[in-house]
Structure 1
Amino acid sequence: MTDRKPLETLVRRAPWPDSVSRAVGTPLQPSVVYASENPDQLDAQYGGAVAGYTYAREGHPNADVLARKIDMLEGAEGGLVTGSGMAAVTAALMGILGAGDHVLGGDQLYGRSLRLMTQDLARFGIATGLFDPTDPATLEAAIRPETRMVLVEVVSNPTLRVADMEGIARICNDRGVLLAVDNTFTTPRGYRPFDHGADIVIHSVTKLLAGHSDATLGYVAARDPGLRKAIYDFAVTTGMTPSPFDCWLAERGLMSFPLRYDRAEENARVLADHLAGLKGVRRVVYPTRPDHPDHNRAVALLGARGGNMVSFELEGGRAAANALVRAMPEVAFAPTLGDIGTTLSHPNSSSHRNVAPEARARAGISEGFFRVSVGVEEIALLLRDFSAGVAAAS
C-alpha cells in the first residue's frame, strides 16, 4: 500500500520494465527529451565524454540505428539522417559552403536540387554553375579558383544519363574540390561513391532504401570528420530533424532492400526491352541497353547493375501522355520513385515543370517523356499494363 493518491502520480513517468530477454524488433522511441542525472552528467554528454541523448533535434536512437545501417552499406562513418532528401542536399551545401564560395552541379540534377543551385544559393552569396557530367572537360572549364564543391548524380533524374565519375573524381582531386555525390538512384547496391573518390554521399532515403512510400527522410555522410561536424551543426541548428517513426519505418524497409532492389532491377531490364519493341514508343533509356548513349560507361561503372529506373518517350504529346496514364489505372501515376510497387511519373508536369522549356528540350524531356520506377510485381502484370498504355496512347 502507498500513501500517494493514484491521480496525483499519473503524471510521473513509469520506469521501463526490466527484462532478461530483448526485443527482436527495433523499439520505437518518440521521446523529444531525455533526462540526465545531474548538470555534471549533462555537461559530460554535450562535451562528448559520455554517450547519451539530450534533445531529439540533436539526435535520437531511431535516427542513429538507421544511419549506422546506411553507413554500413556505403562504407561510411557518422552519417546523419535528415527529415528529407532535399534536407540532406541542403545540409551538405549550406553546412560547408559560405559567401564567396562557388559550387558546380551536374546540369541534369533532380529538379529541386537544380532550383537550389540556380535560384536559392545566390541569395546567400554562394556562386553556382552547371556542367555536363557526361563530359568532364565541361567541369574542368567551369572550375574557378573559388570553386569548393561539385554536386553530381551518378545516374541523372529523369534522363538516366551516366556521369563520368572517374573523370569527375580525378579533376576534383587534382583541383582540391570537394565531390558530393547524390547516390539515390544507384544506391550502394549499384555504386559506392566513397570507393571511387567522393568526399560526401547523399541519399533520399524516402526512395529505394526505405522503399514503401511511407517515410520521408534523407541521409548525408562525409569522409572528413570536420565536414561531418559542419553538416551536423547546420542540420541541428536549422531543425532538419527526422521523425523517429519515419526512421523506424525506414529501418524496417531497409531490411528487405537487397531483395527488393534485385527483383525490381530484373523487372526493369525486362520492361525496358519490352517497351523498345512496342509501336508508338520513340525511344527507351536504360543504362545497360546497348542503345543507351552512355552504355560503355554504364557497364564500366555499374557492371550489370542497370538499376530499377526506366525512362521512355512516346510518339505524341500531352494527349498521348494522358491516354497512356488513363489506360494504366493499376500503376500509380505519382511524382516519386523507389516504392515497392511500380510508379510512373511525367517530368514535364511534376519534377521539371519549373525548368525552362528550352532546357527541358535540350535534355530530351518532351511531353511524351515518362520515368518509370519499377517495382517488384510479377513482370507479366507490368508488361500487360504498359502494352495497354502504349496502345491507348497510339
Structure 2
Amino acid sequence: MQATTKLLHSIPVDAQTGAIAVPIYQTSTFVQEAPGVNKGFDYSRTNNPTRQELEKIVAKIEGGTVAAAFASGLAAIDAVIKLLESGDEIVAVDDIYGGAYRLFEKVYKKFGITVTYVDTTDLGAINRAITSKTRLIWIESPTNPTLKVSDIEAIAAIADRYKILLAVDNTFASPVLQQPLLHGADIVVHSATKYIGGHSDVIAGLVITRNEDLGRQIKFYQNACGAVLGPFDSFLLIRGLETLHLRIAQHCRNAAIIAQYLEKHPQVDKVFYPGLASHPNHAVAKKQQKDFGGVVSFSLRQDTEAAATKFVTNTQLFHLAESLGGVKSLVSHPASMTHKSIETEKRRAAGVSDSLIRLSVGLEDAQDLIDDIENALRKVGSEQLAESRKKSNIFSNSLPLPAHCSLLPANC
C-alpha cells in the first residue's frame, strides 16, 4: 500500500456514528461509572479522543511507537528537555531555530543544563563536543534557515556508541519526505504549526518516540506540565494530514523552480536549497529525503540588513510574516525575526548573514512567485544604484581644487 493511501486510511471512521471525519470532542471532563471506572477518558488534559486519534496517526506515519501532541512546537521541545537533569549537557546544531536557542539559553541553562553548538554536518565536530555529561544530541535537518542537512543515520550511530539520545526536529521535511526514527533517531519533534497543519491557522507541536518507555516519559510530562493540544486544534491537524502528500509535492516543485532561478540571479550571492547540486549536503539529502522541501533561503550580494528589509517589504505574493509551511507563500528576515534572540556573532558564524532571506514557498503558480521576487529584487537594485550614485556625487564634490584655481568658480 502506498504512503498516501496508508495515511488517508489510518484516519478512522467514527465507530459510534459512522462519521467520515474524526469528531471534535470539545469537552473538559468525562462522566465516570465509578471512581477510576470510565470509558478510557477522565479529563481532557490527560487524554482526549480527538487528540488521541491524532497521536495514533502521527506515530504511525513517523514509524514510531508513541506520539504526544502539544500546544506549540516549543512546548514539544520543552517536554524533550525535561528528560534531562541538572548537570546534563546537550550537543546541538549551530544553525538552530531561535526559539529553541532561547529556551536552551534563557530557561534551561539556569537549571544547570548546558548546550554546546556545533556544525552537525561535521561528524568529527559532534564527536569532539561529546563529554561524559552529554545526554542528548539535538539536530534540525534541514536546519532553519540555512537548510543544512545532517546525516541522521551516521549521527544515530554516534549517539548509540555513547549511549545518548538523538532528537531530530523534522519540521522542515515533514514525515512525507523523511522519517528520522527509521534512520536510528530516538525522538522526532515537529512544529506542527508548519507543514502538518499546512494552512497557517493552528499552533501545535508533536513529539514521537521510537521507544515505548521513552514515549511514556514524554506522555507523563505532557500531562504533568499541561501544555496539551486542544481537541479543535487536534482536529485541524488531522484535516491537514489528509492533504499533506499533495501539498508537499507542490511545495517542493515550486521551491525547486525558484531555487534554480535565484541561483542565476546577478543580485543573489548564495542560495540555500538541498535540491541544488551546488548545496554542500545535496548527496546526504538525496540519500535520506524523498524530496527537498518547500523552503528556500538566499543572501544578497549587497549584504546588509537594509537591503534585505527593502526586499521583504516589497513583495506582494510573499507575505512578510513569521512561520512557514502554509499554502500561501511567506517571506521573513531571520536576522531580525526568527533568529533575533541569537547573539549577532553567533548568528553570523552559523551562516545567518545580515542579508539572508527565507522564503516559505506556497502553492501559488511558480511563475507568479518568480515575477514577485524579480520585482522586489529590482527595487533593491534601483535603491543600490541610487545610493552608489549619491556616494559618487559626494566623492566628486569633495575633491580638492587644483592648485592653480582660485575659490571663485568663474576662474576655474
1:64 to 52, 55, 75: 52
Please state whether the residue corresponding to 2:37 is helix, strand or coil.
helix
CA contact (8 A) 1:100 1:126 kept: yes
- Counterpart of 2:293 in structure 1 is 307
- Alpha-carbon distance in structure 2 between the residues aligned to 1:131 and 1:325: 30
Partner of 1:74: 62
After superposition, the Cα gap between the structure-2 partners of 1:344 and 1:66, relative to the gap in structure 1 and judged at 3 Å, is same
Q: Is the 8 A contact 2:65 2:215 kept in 1?
A: no
State the 1:210 CA deviation. 0.7
Q: Is residue 105–residue 117 contact of structure 1 (8 Å, CA) maintained in 2?
A: no
Please give the per-residue CA displacement for 1:294-320, whole angstroms capped at 9, x wherever unaligned: 2222222325x1111100112222332
Scaled by the length of structure 1, what TM-score is found? 0.89
Matches within 5 A, 1:105-120: 105-120=92-107
Larger Rg: 2
| One-letter amino acid of the structure 2 residue matched with residue 378 of structure 1 | D
CA contact 1:33–1:55 (8 Å) conserved in 2: yes
Q: CA deviation at 1:236?
A: 1.3
Question: Quick one: distance in 1 between partners of 2:239 and 2:154?
Answer: 37
Q: Which of 309, 324, 342 is the matching residue for 1:355?
A: 342
Partner residue, 1:12: none
Q: Could you tell me how far apart the structure 2 residues matched to 1:173 and 1:377 are?
A: 43
Identify if the C-alpha distance between structure 1 residues 384 and 361 changes in structure 2 by more than 3 Å, giving closer, same or farther. Answer: same
The question of 1:84 aligning with 2:80 is answered: no
Counterpart amino acid of residue 225 in structure 1: E
What one-letter code is carried by the residue in structure 2 that aligns with 1:287? P
Q: What amino acid maps onto 2:295 in structure 1? A: M
CA contact (8 A) 2:331 2:359 kept: yes
Structure 1, unaligned runs of 5 or more: 1-18, 43-50
Change (3 A) 1:58 1:277: same
Q: Which residue of 2 aligns with 1:144?
A: 131
The answer to whether the Cα contact below 8 Å between 1:215 and 1:247 also exists between their aligned partners in 2 is no
C-alpha spacing 1:21/1:361, structure 2 compared with 1 (3 Å):
closer
Q: What residue in structure 2 maps to residue 30 of structure 1?
A: 26
Give the deviation of 1:116 after TM superposition.
Answer: 2.1
**Cα contact 1:206–1:217 (8 A) shared by 2:** yes
Q: Is the contact made by 1:348 and 1:366 (CA closer than 8 Å) also made in structure 2?
A: yes
Q: Distance in 2 between matches of 1:300 and 1:52?
A: 42
Unaligned residue ranges in structure 2 (runs of 5+): 1-14, 382-412
1:272 is the counterpart of 2:268: no
The residue matched to 2:256 in structure 1 has which SS?
helix
Q: Is the 8 A contact 1:82 1:235 kept in 2?
A: yes
Counterpart of 1:138, as a letter, is A
Superposed displacement of residue 159, structure 1: 0.6
Among 35, 40, 58, the residue aligned to 1:39: 35
Deviations 1:26-76 (A, max 9, x none): 21111000111112515xxxxxxxx51111111111111211221121011
* Structure 1 SS opposite 2:201: coil
Q: 1:25–1:301: structure 2 CA closer, same or farther, 3 Å change rule?
A: closer
Task: Provide the C-alpha distance between the structure 1 equivalents of 2:289 and 2:20, rounded to a whole number of angstroms.
Answer: 35
Q: Does 1:292 align with 2:279?
A: yes
Closer, same or farther: CA 225–166 of 1 in aligned 2, 3 Å: closer
Alignment of 1:308-327 (within 5 A): 308-316=294-302, 317-327=304-314
C-alpha separation in 2, matches of 1:373 and 1:283: 17
1:318–1:129: structure 2 CA closer, same or farther, 3 Å change rule?
Answer: closer
Match of 1:236 in 2: 223
Percent identity between the aligned chains? Answer: 34
Which residue identity lines up with residue 79 of structure 1 in the other structure? A
Whether 2:46 is the aligned partner of 1:55: answer no
1:369 corresponding residue in structure 2: 356
Q: How far apart are residue 252 of structure 1 and its match?
A: 0.7
The alpha-carbon distance between structure 1 residues 125 and 360, as it changes in their structure 2 partners (threshold 3 A), is: closer
Aligned partner of 2:367 among 380, 385, 389? 380
Q: Per-residue deviation at 1:358?
A: 0.9
Return the alpha-carbon distance in structure 2 between the equivalents of residues 339 and 40 of structure 1: 42
CA offsets, 1:123-170, max 9 Å, x none? 222232222101011111111112111111111100111113232111
Q: CA deviation at 1:21?
A: 5.3
Cα pair distance change 1:101/1:322, threshold 3 Å: closer
Provide the TM-score with structure 2 as the length reference.
0.85
In the alignment, residue 37 of structure 2 is paired with which amino acid?
A: Q
Matched length: 366
Matched, 1:173 2:183: no
